[in-house]
Amino acid sequence: MKRPRHVCLSLLLLVTSLASVSSQVNPGVCRYPLGMSGGQIQDEDISASSQWSESTAARYGRLDFEEGDGAWCPEITVEPDNLKEFLQIDLRSLHFITLVGTQGRHAGGIGNEFAQMYKIKYSRDGSRWISWRNRQGKQVIEANRNAYDIVLKDLEPPVIARFVRFMPVTDHSMNVCMRVELYGCEWLDGLVSYNAPAGQQMNLPEHVVYLNDSVYDGAIIHSMTEGLGQLTDGVCGLDDFIDSHVYNVWPGYDYVGWSNQSFPGGYVEIMFEFDRIRNFTTMMVHCNNMFTHNVKAFQQVVCYFRSEMDWEPTPLTFSPTLDDEDPGARFIPIALANHMASAIKCQFYFADIWLLFSEITFQSDTAMYNTTLTPPKTGLPPIIQPEDDPTHKVDDSTTRILIGCLVAIIFILVAIIVIILWRQVWQKMLEKSETFIYSHNQSSSATSEQESSSTYERIFPLGPDYQEPSRLICKLPELAQNSEEPASSSTAAQDGVPHYAEADIVTLQGVTGGNTYAIPALAMDLLSGKDVAVEEFPRKLLTFKEKLGEGQFGEVHLCEAEGMQEFMNKEFLFDVPEEATVLVAVKMLRSDANKNARNDFLKEIKIMSRLKDPNIVRLLAVCIYSDPLCMITEYMENGDLNQFLSRREPEGQLALLSNSPTVSFDNLCYMAAQVASGMKYLSSLNFVHRDLATRNCLVGKNFTIKIADFGMSRNLYSGDYYRIQGRAVLPIRWMSWESILLGKFTTASDVWAFAVTLWEILNFCKEQPYSQLTDEQVIENTGEFFRDQKRQIYLPQPVLCPDSLYKVMLGCWRRNTKERPSFQEIHRALLEIQS
């Protein structure tokens, strides 16, 4: 009997949903965007706890909008233990909210801030704020993983509110920006709260049935006050109250119930408060009627009305016919005869030991819910769940079931045909247009799934001017082989150098965990040739001397290599050593490294093999015929520039006294000019170094300099790097504001880092840049660079630094990337100062 009933019910549901209006909210259909992206919500109704700048104010927090700087961002970094920041939306009237959508700040490719998690707070009156929790009691909602995808989350239970706050949550300090949308429909019931005695517990031989209102959002002591909960969540209980609905929480979950033993008057009183005085037509009470378990619908209801101050003296009384035959749960309609009221108080009289309600709805002012797919006013279709929740049940009798089942068979056939056709059309639409795709990970009856939250992900069309960085990295191997493929013109940025994230940048995580040069795929094309001009070196000719560094995927060793001259002579017309053995740095990939790390390693070889400049460390040879894979690069006898200079002093009195080796100002300039020259070469190939610093420059004989890239892997310099926003470990003290805040790495940001490197050189690397600032303060200072209100702190002029040179440095730290000098200009300026 049970099975066919269900079929009938869902078919009746199908029938009722073909009608255009309904007297109660259907959470399956009530999923219209409420106007953040569509603009129906006005700017003045969007506010926030703070804003980072005028261009990241609350009004820019609209989903799918790219105005201002692309999202709402709070003024300060969000800390794990300090959840003060919020974005608030005033919907102007009560709404039933079933779904929320969030997105980060993408800003056409330059933004990279998003909320990994958030909480929702809501309010119906603007003063009492309630923290949303899911049916398991969890408040935190998992959100975005990147700055561009929209992540939609069902609010289970839904929320009835006028005001909603999104509060970003993090597990570590990070910059967060958000764009949001709310989905739902207007709450036509107008109910603001119901006050009722707390639900009770039924002890059955096999079960304990908890009939409390587990999602009630008001106060619960002995009674429930000032809240809404399961009686208004749009979910009707099943015929067998012991079976909980899809949520699988505990027996009796869908119902709120009371036993007559606690109510000597023989009734349960519930008071309903509304947002305003309304003209009431009907109240519908969804009751369980499982008389075999002493549960029955009420035998009588007495309702009092209050419109202004006082309760009307004469109540309305209604006695439904008791049903001792059908144990099905049902809605009992109670005509309210156009009473005007802002509060209603009803006494429901027990007909048996137990009274169990799962839903109570009100119709007033002839307002009806729209349940068809045509939206009320937004012009946009609702977002619908693909599953059919039996959220409605209808008061049905046996004859009705029979007729219903006959009609049902016809409808099943029609429905199947419609669904088949619809699916085909839908499939086509998916291929063609911007559409939401749903993946609802819900187990309908299984006990395995504790979390019934579903994730929806939006699929973006990849337009011509939209590049998803991760995709492009994956595409690289084809790109590299297919060198005639034209570079998309839209990726070329204004200053001629493709930008990180908006261009196809290939970021190699070097073996040592450091990032090697970031290379536009376009330049990668030029690099890819059939013959990679590096040769295999016999491993046995390497003698280990010392470990230079180590990272996630490998190690860097300092080795002596025998017979390396042969490898160097061929095309290196300079710098051929006379000794039989030369010092080399050997980057080695751990043999257990994964496939990606191996591929990156091979790509790195390819790139390195093409770099030929006297001021760039060269790849000499490789060992790739057997594991571990090795890359043999030049190393220079004086080690890195940081250590080299920190052991030396400027020429002068002090050096004489301490008897330390010295370096003349001219030699400092000579070294700096070589760094500039090497960078000039890299920038001419559109390569972005991303980690230029003295620790990454090697010093040879006679103050010769070569730029390398293994600083990050060395413990010695771990203090120079900072783990930011859960992204990468970054050398923030050398990074431009836009690299830190926007994740944008360009030649212009290399220019910034160059000036910091120059500053280190002129200070003999005796001090870390911004040594008086903590990492967090450095990041705050970056914000000041962005705001440019003359509050940013610049590195001070080193004692040895002439004004003209300090001016060059300040030029490199201009806010506007286009106003910074090029490496050509810097190189020229350095040569002039030297002479």
Ligand X SMILES: *[C@@H]1O[C@H](CO)[C@@H](O)[C@H](O)[C@H]1NC(C)=O
Name the residues annotated as catalytic: 691
* H-helix segments, 513-647: 521-527, 565-569, 595-610, 641-646
Interacting stretch for ligand X, rule CB under 6 A, among 31-39, 208-216, 395-403, 701-709? 208-216
Give the nearest distance from C-beta 356 to ligand X in angstroms.
14
Size of the site for ligand X (CB under 6 A): 15
Q: Give the number of C-alpha atoms closer than 13 A to the C-alpha of residue 80, restricted to the C-beta side.
A: 5
- Counting contacts by CB under 6 A, is residue 130 touching ligand X? no
Considering only residues 749-768, where is the footprint of ligand X by CB under 6 A?
A: none
- Counting contacts by CB under 6 A, is residue 352 touching ligand X? yes
Q: Which of 615, 406, 583, 599 is nearest to 508 (CA)?
A: 599
Interacting stretch for ligand X, rule CB under 6 A, among 54-62, 91-99, 181-189, 210-218? 210-218
Task: Report angle CA 245, 355, 349 to the nearest 5 degrees.
Answer: 150
Q: Which of 232, 219, 224 is nearest to 258 (CA)?
A: 224
Q: How far apart are CA 33 and CA 538, in angstroms?
A: 66
Q: Are the CB atoms for 518 and 500 separated by under 8 Å?
A: yes
Interacting stretch for ligand X, rule CB under 6 A, among 213-221, 418-426, 575-583, 615-623? 213-221
Q: Which residues contact 285 (CB under 8 A, 6 or more apart)?
A: 297, 298, 301, 331, 332, 334, 348, 357, 359, 360
- In terms of CB distance, is 200 or 704 closer to ligand X? 200
The DSSP letter of residue 55 is G
Tokens describing residue 515: 């990032």
Q: How far apart are CA 159 and CA 169, in angstroms?
A: 20
Give the nearest distance from C-beta 242 to ligand X in angstroms.
14
- Counting contacts by CB under 6 A, is residue 338 touching ligand X? yes
Q: Give the number of C-alpha atoms closer than 13 A to the C-alpha of residue 646, restricted to the C-beta side.
A: 12
Phi, psi torsion values for 435, nearest 5 degrees: -140, 155
Q: How far apart are CA 243 and CA 236, in angstroms?
A: 12
- In terms of CB distance, is 261 or 599 closer to ligand X? 261
- In terms of CB distance, is 258 or 710 closer to ligand X? 258
Judged by CB under 6 A, the residue of 47, 195, 212, 615 near ligand X is 212
Judged by CB under 6 A, the residue of 292, 366, 489, 772 near ligand X is 366
Q: How far apart are CA 152 and CA 459, in angstroms?
A: 12
Judged by CB under 6 A, the residue of 32, 52, 60, 210 near ligand X is 210
- Counting contacts by CB under 6 A, is residue 195 touching ligand X? no
Would you say how long the chain is, in residues? 835
Please report, for residues 93, 305, 359, the alpha-carbon distance to residue 278 in angstroms, rounded to integers and kept in the order given: 15, 11, 20
- Counting contacts by CB under 6 A, is residue 214 touching ligand X? yes
Tokens describing residue 46: 């969007």
Give the nearest distance from C-beta 340 to ligand X in angstroms.
5
Interacting stretch for ligand X, rule CB under 6 A, among 73-81, 209-217, 373-381, 394-402? 209-217
- Counting contacts by CB under 6 A, is residue 260 touching ligand X? yes
Give the nearest distance from C-beta 289 to ligand X in angstroms.
14
Considering only residues 292-331, where is the footprint of ligand X by CB under 6 A?
A: none
Q: Is 432 helix (H, G, I), strand (E, B) or coil?
A: helix
Judged by CB under 6 A, the residue of 340, 368, 492, 793 near ligand X is 340
Give the nearest distance from C-beta 320 to ligand X in angstroms.
16
- Counting contacts by CB under 6 A, is residue 353 touching ligand X? yes
- In terms of CB distance, is 340 or 800 closer to ligand X? 340
Judged by CB under 6 A, the residue of 93, 261, 444, 684 near ligand X is 261
- Counting contacts by CB under 6 A, is residue 453 touching ligand X? no
Phi, psi torsion values for 184, nearest 5 degrees: 165, -145
Q: How far apart are CA 562 and CA 530, in angstroms?
A: 29
Q: Give the number of C-alpha atoms closer than 13 A to the C-alpha of residue 651, restricted to the C-beta side.
A: 6
Give the nearest distance from C-beta 342 to ligand X in angstroms.
13
Give the nearest distance from C-beta 252 to ligand X in angstroms.
9
- In terms of CB distance, is 274 or 687 closer to ligand X? 274
Tokens describing residue 651: 């020429």
- In terms of CB distance, is 279 or 397 closer to ligand X? 279
Give the nearest distance from C-beta 153 to ligand X in angstroms.
22
Which residues sit at the interface with ligand X, rule CB under 6 A?
Answer: 210, 212, 214, 216, 220, 250, 260-261, 279, 338, 340, 350, 352-353, 366
